[in-house]
Every structure is written in structure tokens, then in C-alpha cells.
Amino acid sequence: MRDVTRLPASAGSGRIGIVHLGLGAFHRAHQAVYLERYRRRSGDTAWGLSSANLRASVGLVDALHEAGHRYHVAEYADREHVTIREIGVIEETLFTGKDPACRRWGRDREALLARLAAPETRIVTLTVTEKGYFLSPASGRLLVDDPLIAADIAHPEAACTAPGLLVEALARRLAAGLAPFTVLSCDNMPDNGRRTRAAVVELAERRDAALAAWIDAEVAFPSSMVDRIVPAMTAADFARLAELGIEDPNAVVGEAFSQWVVEDDFPLGRPAWEADGVEMVADVAPFETMKLRMLNGSHSLLAYLGALDGIETVFEAVSREDLVALLRRYMLDEAAPTLAMPEGTDLTAYAEQLLERFANDSLHHRLQQIAMDGSQKLPQRWLHGAEARLAAGGEVPCTALGVAAWIRYTAGDDLAGRPHAVDDPLASRLADLHARHGGDIEALAAAFLAVKDVFPPALAAEPRFARAVADAYTTLTQQGLAGALGALSRV
């Protein structure tokens, strides 16, 4: 490492203006970093963060508390250049999930609800993963039969889901005559503001129609596009940081690149963070769709195809020419034509920039991490684009190969029979489909395409797509990854 820049943390203030739900790696390396930059530049300390986990892990919540909420973010441009930032904007960490020590839910639930209902809280941000909204990925409707949502409907004051906590907090604000906070989703979902609104309003409707109407009319749910590759930490990451003198169990590592495009709709105000790199726009949808289909769509192709061939990381995957050729073709021929971008957007340059970012050899971004929750990710990454491309008379062979790889991946082992965990809310339902149709590829593909929470009905009913997926599955399982990519390059 030749070039190490170290930036000390801003001073804590004890003041909290933003509550965050989902204290994971990404929050620590993205939203907290923008706020840190803002505070260092402006000196404004009104926007401290209270960050909560509603699920794993209580360990991180308590470790950050012990560390005075200070931690480090290492931003790697490449192997030689890293910026190490200490972060001081988190003022409080809370845990409302199931405490492994006492096996009880909701250790800090009341503290979190009080924080959400406090007049100083003006913004609530979320990174609770796609499944944390409890929406059908394909339709965007609330999963009212999910046991946790059912529990939040039955006992709203003891809410355990993100939508449930937001509804309860907003009800308390309404009762106290306080204006509502702005809700800003920072998860990789299309129209993430509109979707979050749908989850919260639909849940509120089950409780009180007047509350639901107030939320729908008064609460701002701006959408945002978030981008920074922040893989889960590995032992090697901690060891590399230790070599630089950073012994911090709460540290996170990410790429130097970072982007945040936000719809400017904050009735109670917001940090003036434009000068710190946040892009404030009127409509985020084109940027969000571009990022989901090009970046995340490529990631998911690498994840399922690579994992089936025993490849471990994104970097290893893009060291293979045939996989890079697949990504270029997917991005330029299948994703880009479906995007309606503002004048002057160069999607070819964007695709090349993504390939460079994937080739960052300082990141150990495991394909298994990206492969997680495929049922929640596929619609926005591949399927809506494929539907549009087919409707316009185009072909989607790369997407069909990706879908075939995802189906094969959910069987729970790779092409050489090595087992892997399938971490997905629909895992057992998908395993059942394999058990029922495993020997009959056409029936298996048809059964997967009939999963309505994943596949849009028009795409599932498109015979060209069903044929392409079944054919790709056959090639992939009979000829392996190289064979399938070779066959694809000839059509």
C-alpha cells in the first residue's frame, strides 16, 4: 500500500436528526459517510444519527456502543490507494430484534419508538434489504399473510418489522400533533420511495383508515438511488486494516466510488449535503433503473453463473474473458435498450466503468453474498427489463441464461455437486419445485416461471422466454459454464 489518506472523525454532538433502520455494512459506509463529510465541511451538528437493527446483529449494536459509536471506513480505489475515514456521526445504536441472550423481541423497541416520535427526528432512512419491506417483489403489494406482518397487525404497539415500527411511530406523532418525518429508503429497489409508502400505508390501513389517509397525504417518501460496493467483511480485510494500524472490529471496507441520487422532497428540512456529493434531483427513476439493471443485473449474472462453477468473488469472475463478454452483451444489448435516460447519458461508458469497478482487486466481494435473496432481486434486476425487451421485439439470451443459472443455484449445490446454502425467503418453496420436477427440465422451468411473487405474468406467459430458459438450463447443466457461454457467443 503506497498511498494511505487518514481522515479523523468529526466531533460528536449528542444531537439526533436522523433515525436509521438497518445498521449494516452499507449504512456505515454510505449514508454515514455522506453525513460525516457534511458535518466536517459545514460544522452543522444537528443531523446526528440514531442507528437501529431490527434483526441481526445485536453484537454490532453493542460493539459500536462500547466504541463510543466511532468506527473506520476503508475506501479502496485499488490495491495501492486507500482512504481511511473515522466516522463520528452515529450518536446512538439500538436493537429491537430477538435478543439471543434472553430470547425476547424488542430490547430497545420503546427507545427506538420514542426516538422516532421525537420532534427533533426529521428524517428516517432505511437499509433493511429488499425483504425487510415485506412486499411481493413482483407486484409491490404488502405480504399481509407473513407471520411478522400479521403480528404487527395484531399488536401494533409491539411492532417488529420496519413498516410496523414506522406506522406505530407515525401514529404517535399524529396523536402528539407533530408533523411526520420524511422516510428515505436506501435499498436497491425500483421506486423505493413509492414501494415504502405502499408498505406503510397498506399496513396502516389494517389498523386505522384515518391514520392511513394521513400518512398517504402528509408523509414524504422520496426515492433514492444508492451505489457503493461494500462487501461483507472477511478475516483478510481485518488483517489488511491491522497492517495499517487499524484494529477496529466495527470497521467496513468498500470501493472508493460512491453515488447517492435523491429526490428532493424533505418537508421538515435536510442536511445541505449537495456539496458533499449527494445529487438532489426531481426524478430519480431513470438513475435507479439504470443502476439496478446494469450494475445489479450484472452482479446477479456473475453470482449465479459463477457460483455454479465454483468461483468465489466478483474479482475472480471478471478475470474470465467469457464472463466479461457476457456482461458487456447483457448490459449493452439487453439492459441499455430498455432504459430511458436523460439526454447525454452515455450507457456504453457506464458499462465500461462498471467493469472497471468489478475488477477492483482490493474487494473480496463474495458471489454467495450477491446470490442471497434472489427471489427479491430478480424482478428489478432482470425481469422487468426482459419483459420490455421482448415486448419491443428483442431477444434476451443472457437474461434467460441468468434465470436458468438462478433456478439451478436454488437446488442447493453447484454443477460439480458441491453444496451451498440457499439464503432466500422462498428457499423452501423453490426446493420443493426441484424435488417435484427435478428430472424434467421443461416442467421445472415452467414451475419456476409460475412463481407469481417473482415473475411478472406477461413474462411468464411469453413462450420465447420459457423456451430460452429451458434450453439454457439444458446447456448449462450438460456442458458447464464455459460450454454455456460458448454456445451463447454463437447466437
| Type of residue at 368 | Q
Smallest gap from Cβ 254 to ligand CS2, in A, equals 9
Per rule CB under 6 A, count of chain residues that contact ligand CS2 = 10
Distances (CA, A) of 342 to 51, 284, 325: 35, 11, 27
Pairing of strands 182-185, 224-227: unpaired
Scanning 40-48, 54-62, 108-116, 241-249 for contacts with ligand NAI by CB under 6 A, the matching segment is 54-62
Smallest gap from Cβ 299 to ligand CS2, in A, equals 4
Distances (CA, A) of 417 to 310, 414, 483: 10, 5, 17
Residue 229 binds to ligand CS2 (criterion: CB under 6 A): yes
Query: How far apart are alpha carbons 60 and 41 in whole angstroms?
Result: 28
- Give the full edge-to-edge strand order of the sheet including 81-87: 3-7, 81-87, 71-76, 252-255
Binding track, positions 279-298, relative to ligand CS2; x by CB under 6 A: ----------------xx--
Q: What angle, 0 to 180 degrees and rounded to 10, lies between the N-to-C axes of helices 192-205 and 209-218? A: 160
Binding track, positions 333-372, relative to ligand NAI; x by CB under 6 A: ----------------------------------------
Burial class (CB in 10 A: 0-12, 13-18, 19+), 70: middle
Query: How far apart are alpha carbons 220 and 280 in whole angstroms?
Result: 15
Strand runs (DSSP E) across 387-457, as ranges? Answer: none
Binding track, positions 368-407, relative to ligand CS2; x by CB under 6 A: -xx------x------------------------------
Using the minimum distance from each CB to ligand CS2, give the nearer residue, 95 or 304: 304
End-to-end CA distance of the chain: 44
Exactly one of 195, 228, 364, 408 binds ligand NAI (CB under 6 A); that residue is: 228
Smallest gap from Cβ 456 to ligand CS2, in A, equals 20
Exactly one of 204, 212, 220, 226 binds ligand NAI (CB under 6 A); that residue is: 226
Query: How far apart are alpha carbons 81 and 360 in whole angstroms?
Result: 11
Query: How far apart are alpha carbons 19 and 127 in whole angstroms?
Result: 11
Residue 56 binds to ligand NAI (criterion: CB under 6 A): yes
Scanning 207-215, 227-235, 345-353, 459-467 for contacts with ligand CS2 by CB under 6 A, the matching segment is 227-235
Site for ligand NAI in 79-138 (CB under 6 A): 127-132
Smallest gap from Cβ 322 to ligand NAI, in A, equals 25
Residue 55 binds to ligand NAI (criterion: CB under 6 A): yes
Give the footprint of ligand CS2 on this chain (CB under 6 A): 188, 227-229, 295-296, 299, 369-370, 377
List contacts with ligand NAI (CB under 6 A): 22-27, 53-56, 127-132, 162, 187-188, 226, 228-230
